[in-house]
Amino acid sequence: MFEWFSHFNYVVVIILMMTGLYTVFASRNLIKKLAGLSVFQTSVFLLYITIGKVNGGQPPILVKDKSYGTDDDGQALLDGVVQVAAGNESYILPGPGSDVLYSNPLPHVLILTAIVVGVATLSIGLALTVRIREVYGTIEEDEIESADFVYNLEGTAD
């Protein structure tokens, strides 16, 4: 049971991923398929963000000098404080060479890009659905296929 909680995020990611993928394949409604696709893509965003988390880490930004407490084993999370000249106060600079634990910012940046891509895909998909609705008068795949049945038999448009 404890093992499960240590991988809690991954369990959520897998459940979301499979739900999304199943929805894409199982539903015959164009909008529902797109909803499934969005859930599937969102699960990947969560996966990436989970990768970026460092246990006990702080956001990778300049912070004021303060103590960070101890981790589960009683070890101090921070050994020392890196001071940078920023006004009169001492700041900690996370980065190579500093002792500050900080979460990895790179996956977040990647996912910002992936979210934009996901939005573009979804909007194109919805626009296509609108056009399909205009032309066929339905967004159910079965009805679209039966409407094209004669077309497909003759192999020509008109």
Partner 1 sequence: MSFLDLVPDWLLIHGPAFLMALPLIMAAVTAILPNKRVAWTSTFIVTAILTLTAFAIAIYNAEVGTTIYKMGGWAPPHGISLVIDALSAPLVLLIALMGFITVIYAMPATVAEIKPNKRAPFYAAFLLCIAGLLGMVVSGDAFNVFVFLEVSSISTYVLVAMGAARDRRALSAAYNYLILGSIGATFYVIGVGFLYMETGTLNMADMARILADLDGGSRVAKVAFGFIVIGLGLKLAMFPLHAWLPGAYAYAPTPVTVFLASTATKAALYLLLRFTFFVFDPSYTYVADVLMFVLVGLGVVGMVFASLQAIFQTDVRRMLAFSSVAQVGYMLLGIGIATTASVAAGYLHLLNHAIIKGGLFLALGAMWYRFGITRTEDFQGLGKTMPLTMGAFTVLGLSLIGIPFTAGFVSKLNLVYAAADEGWWWAVGIIMLTSILALIYIGRVLLAAYFQSPPEIKGVVVARNEAPLSMLLPMWGLAIASIIIGIDASAIVDASTRAAELLLGTG
List contacts with partner 1 (CB under 8 A).
21, 24, 30, 33-34, 37, 40-41, 44, 47-48, 51, 106-107, 110, 113-114, 117, 120-121, 124-125, 128-129, 131-132, 135-136, 141, 144, 148, 151-152, 155-157
Report in angstroms how near the CB of residue 1 gets to partner 1 at its nearest. Answer: 23
Report in angstroms how near the CB of residue 59 gets to partner 1 at its nearest. Answer: 19
Report in angstroms how near the CB of residue 94 gets to partner 1 at its nearest. Answer: 16
Strand ordering across the sheet containing 89-92 = 63-64, 89-92, 84-86
The 10 Å CB-count burial string (b at 16+, else e) for 116-148 is eebeeeeeebeeebeeeeeeeeebeeeebeeee
Is 105 in contact with 112 (CB distance < 8 Å)? no
Task: Identify which of residues 85 and 150 has a Cβ nearer to partner 1 in the complex.
Answer: 150
**Count of C-beta atoms within a 10 Å radius of residue 15:** 11
Report in angstroms how near the CB of residue 6 gets to partner 1 at its nearest. Answer: 16
Task: Identify which of residues 54 and 76 has a Cβ nearer to partner 1 in the complex.
Answer: 54
